[in-house]
Amino acid sequence: MSFWLDIVVAAPAHSSITGPLTYESESALSPGQLVRVPLGRREVLGVVWAERDDAGALTAAQRKSVAGALEGIEPLSPNWRSLIGFTASYYQRALGEVALAALPPQLRELDASGLTRRLKRHAKASHSRTTAPTEAARPVLSEQQAQALRAFESADRPALLYGATGSGKTEVYLRAAEEVLKNDAQAQVLIMVPEINLTPQLQSRLHDRFAALGDGAVVALHSGLTPAQRLKGWLAAHTGQARVVLGTRMAVLASLPGLRLIVVDEEHDPSYKQQEGARYSARDLAIYRAHLESRSSNARSEATRCRVMLGSATPSLESWQACLSGRYQRLDMPLRVGASLGAAKPEVRLIDMAQQPRGAVLAPPLLAALAERIARGEQSLIFLNRRGYAPVLACHACGWKSQCRYCSAYRVFHKLDRTLRCHHCGYTDPVPRGCPDCGNVDITPVGRGTEQLEEQVNQLLSALQRPDGSPVQVARIDADSTRLKGALQAQLAQVHTGQTDVLVGTQMITKGHDFRNITLVAAINPDGSLFSSDFRAPERLFALLMQAAGRAGRQAQQSAAAQMWVQTFHPHHPLFDALRRHDYEGFAQEELGTRQAAGLPPFSHAALLRAEASTQELAQDFLRAAAQTAAAQALAGGERVRLYPAVPMPLQKLANVERAQMLLESDSRPALQQFMSAWLPLLGQLRKQPALRRVIRWALDVDPVSI
């Protein structure tokens, strides 16, 4: 007797396969089981999605059999399959693509015997539990932390922990996790962070705090792991051995059969949005997943619901609006830990650069403030969101600029290895001896990046000394300085141990670090984002500057003197005014008012259709044809969806490919979803038109984070 099964596999992009394929099997297999099946000439990993009564429309010649099941791995749960199904349909991607991308890559390569070996090793490791756990030291909760936790316990909705930088949000996450884990031996907690490398402290804190749960109870899941580590972490999560999973956005799709709490730290961070393939928002999926895991738990009792807590000092306007409308519950922690001891927020100083000497890197008053800190043995942090030495190299004789040959962008001058590098496509060359166009040997850097800033700060401070008479130490942290494995950890350690006096860097240094001795933070050129065409640019800038300010004065004794300096040509801009008052709420109200008036998210719902081709015209032709098809077919939901004209993407050419986009907007999420589902299959048809055959690729981005 044979059985028929719907099995999900990763089909090639833009193939017409969007759902499961039907296979025959000699044994009964349950939904969720991992199998290997033939696909074309290959054998691939698949997930059994459903049993079926017959072969459906398959002819005898088309019928194929399951090659084998991956014994020893429990089937993926119905909840996991629902989550994957929702993700695929909401973000308009093939089911197989989403399902398989959510599994560790090594699982795709292992055959049955390789897997058996791996599982044995895994089982052995998990039985080697050691030592009687010690009770980890926990701080006494502050009053507002205790209050936030009480409110969370009784909340019946997703919660947003709106806590100032340094208010102790992490401790709240840990206590909420403890609460869940101690009541239920099967319970699992997922804690998501934007980037794990930036928070090595958190990982060790989790290990310490949850040591009592045994070895292997805390695992990390992120893309920086080796394939073997990733498989190991995934298996630990899937088997329930891992009780606490610390992960980046990809972890939201991990198999977690006992999931009872999801924490999304720094929920406003754009890196929660995946930027290729299925462009999901891990924050939004966290909300959906918690809802799903609660709804389907067998008893509707307290113990089996799944809670979700988002946390931020500067929440995304989407989440803030959800609090205002009552969909989320807000938990407020306005004060820093130790506020009664004087741990106040830093004083914000705006320097009008129009009043300063022309071309000054650091305004004289800022320089004086830095010197004061150095004399007192305190640390400072200077932030510039551009790496490299200079963003452009130019010839003033003929106007040549270091344009990338393949992108609509300039190549950045890196002085250390004397290269011109494209930060988009990676195209790198040694700096030419003279201008490639006219031969002029005097080609010069224009603008400033962190590499140059470090050099200039070193010069400006060279006459100064530390209290012990030794020379001032300036260090730089950015993507260039931390390329080597372990470099970031080493550099952060130097800051923590006080070896560094002045730290220069990109936004890498502004996020999350618990630096204890920094009393001055300076943003030296934030103006660029004030007038961006992306409507989210002000929200981003505000969050970034608030985060940066949050690095100053985290130690109570010094905070009376903690300052955040901002160099700007627009000191009266409302954004800076709100920053000066640490007034996120005022800023949010202002921005939401603007968004509402303009009908922008979160008051409307958006998607982008993007196309790539050898010429801009062709890319736009595709988008226009897509719009015409939609109009001609009068697609369901279309009456409530507005299509904007096709335009070049902000980075119009990337790696020799021209890119264009078209915005879709609707006041109704269901209408937009309905419309896209009907539209997507027609887009595949479009490429059959001779004129559009050479379009390279196209994709929908639902709820895009940058426009």
Footprint on this chain of Zn ion (rule: CB under 5 A): 395, 397-398, 400, 404, 406-407, 422, 424-425, 427, 435, 437-438, 440
Question: Which CB atom, from 49 or from 542, has the smaller least distance to ligand ADP?
Answer: 542
For residue 323, the minimal CB distance to ligand ADP (Å) is: 18
Question: Which CB atom, from 141 or from 371, has the smaller least distance to ligand ADP?
Answer: 141
- Would you say the C-alpha torsion 10, 15, 16, 18 has a positive or negative sign? positive
CB burial string 383-411: b at 16+ within 10 A, e below: bbbbbbbbbbbbbeeeebebebebbbbbb
Question: Which CB atom, from 168 or from 601, has the smaller least distance to ligand ADP?
Answer: 168
Question: Which CB atom, from 411 or from 554, has the smaller least distance to ligand ADP?
Answer: 554
Tell me the C-alpha distance between 190 and 199, whole Å: 16
Bridging pattern class, strands 412-414 and 21-25: unpaired
For residue 202, the minimal CB distance to ligand ADP (Å) is: 9
Closest CA to 99 of 4, 19, 22: 19
Question: Which CB atom, from 155 or from 657, has the smaller least distance to Zn ion?
Answer: 657
Q: Residue 86 binds which entry of Zn ion, ligand ADP, none, with Cβ cut-offs from 5 to 8 Å by kind?
A: none
Q: Residue 437 binds which entry of Zn ion, ligand ADP, none, with Cβ cut-offs from 5 to 8 Å by kind?
A: Zn ion
Q: Residue 498: left (phi > 0), alpha (psi -120 to 50), or beta?
A: left
Q: Residue 407 binds which entry of ligand ADP, Zn ion, none, with Cβ cut-offs from 5 to 8 Å by kind?
A: Zn ion
For residue 320, the minimal CB distance to ligand ADP (Å) is: 17
For residue 444, the minimal CB distance to Zn ion (Å) is: 11
Question: Which CB atom, from 77 or from 167, has the smaller least distance to ligand ADP?
Answer: 167
For residue 174, the minimal CB distance to ligand ADP (Å) is: 9
Sequence-distant (6+) residues with CB within 8 A of 339 are none
Q: Residue 422 binds which entry of Zn ion, ligand ADP, none, with Cβ cut-offs from 5 to 8 Å by kind?
A: Zn ion
Q: Residue 585 binds which entry of ligand ADP, Zn ion, none, with Cβ cut-offs from 5 to 8 Å by kind?
A: none
CB of 88 within 8 A of CB of 39?
no
Closest CA to 545 of 516, 518, 578: 578
CA 318 from centre of chain: 16
Q: Residue 355: left (phi > 0), alpha (psi -120 to 50), or beta?
A: alpha
Tell me the C-alpha distance between 519 and 542, whole Å: 20
For residue 338, the minimal CB distance to ligand ADP (Å) is: 7
For residue 693, the minimal CB distance to ligand ADP (Å) is: 52
For residue 393, the minimal CB distance to Zn ion (Å) is: 11
Q: Residue 397 binds which entry of Zn ion, ligand ADP, none, with Cβ cut-offs from 5 to 8 Å by kind?
A: Zn ion
For residue 449, the minimal CB distance to Zn ion (Å) is: 17
Question: Which CB atom, from 168 or from 233, has the smaller least distance to ligand ADP?
Answer: 168
Q: Residue 171 binds which entry of Zn ion, ligand ADP, none, with Cβ cut-offs from 5 to 8 Å by kind?
A: ligand ADP
The runs of H, that is alpha helices, within 156-226 are 169-183, 200-209
Position 605: which residue type? H
For residue 514, the minimal CB distance to Zn ion (Å) is: 37
The beta-strand segments (E) located in 447-571 are 474-477, 502-505, 518-523, 563-568
Q: Residue 427 binds which entry of ligand ADP, Zn ion, none, with Cβ cut-offs from 5 to 8 Å by kind?
A: Zn ion
Question: Which CB atom, from 142 or from 491, has the smaller least distance to ligand ADP?
Answer: 142
DSSP for residue 281: B
Write out the residues near ligand ADP by the rule CB under 6 A: 139-142, 145, 163, 165-171, 337, 514
For residue 310, the minimal CB distance to ligand ADP (Å) is: 13
For residue 171, the minimal CB distance to ligand ADP (Å) is: 4
Sequence-distant (6+) residues with CB within 8 A of 271 are 194, 195, 248, 249
- Helix (H) or strand (E) run with residue 588 in it: helix 584-598
Place of tokens 């300076």: 522
DSSP for residue 67: -
Q: Residue 139 binds which entry of ligand ADP, Zn ion, none, with Cβ cut-offs from 5 to 8 Å by kind?
A: ligand ADP
Q: Residue 375 binds which entry of ligand ADP, Zn ion, none, with Cβ cut-offs from 5 to 8 Å by kind?
A: none
Q: Residue 438 binds which entry of ligand ADP, Zn ion, none, with Cβ cut-offs from 5 to 8 Å by kind?
A: Zn ion
Question: Which CB atom, from 148 or from 221, has the smaller least distance to ligand ADP?
Answer: 148
Closest CA to 269 of 207, 199, 333: 199
Question: Which CB atom, from 339 or from 395, has the smaller least distance to Zn ion?
Answer: 395
Q: Which long-range contacts (CB under 8 A, 24 or more apart) does 138-143 make?
A: 138/171, 138/174, 138/175, 138/209, 139/171, 141/171, 141/175, 142/168, 142/335, 142/337
Question: Which CB atom, from 62 or from 204, has the smaller least distance to ligand ADP?
Answer: 204
Q: Residue 435 binds which entry of ligand ADP, Zn ion, none, with Cβ cut-offs from 5 to 8 Å by kind?
A: Zn ion
Sequence-distant (6+) residues with CB within 8 A of 493 are none
The runs of H, that is alpha helices, within 450-568 are 450-460, 487-496, 537-549
Question: Which CB atom, from 92 or from 312, has the smaller least distance to ligand ADP?
Answer: 312
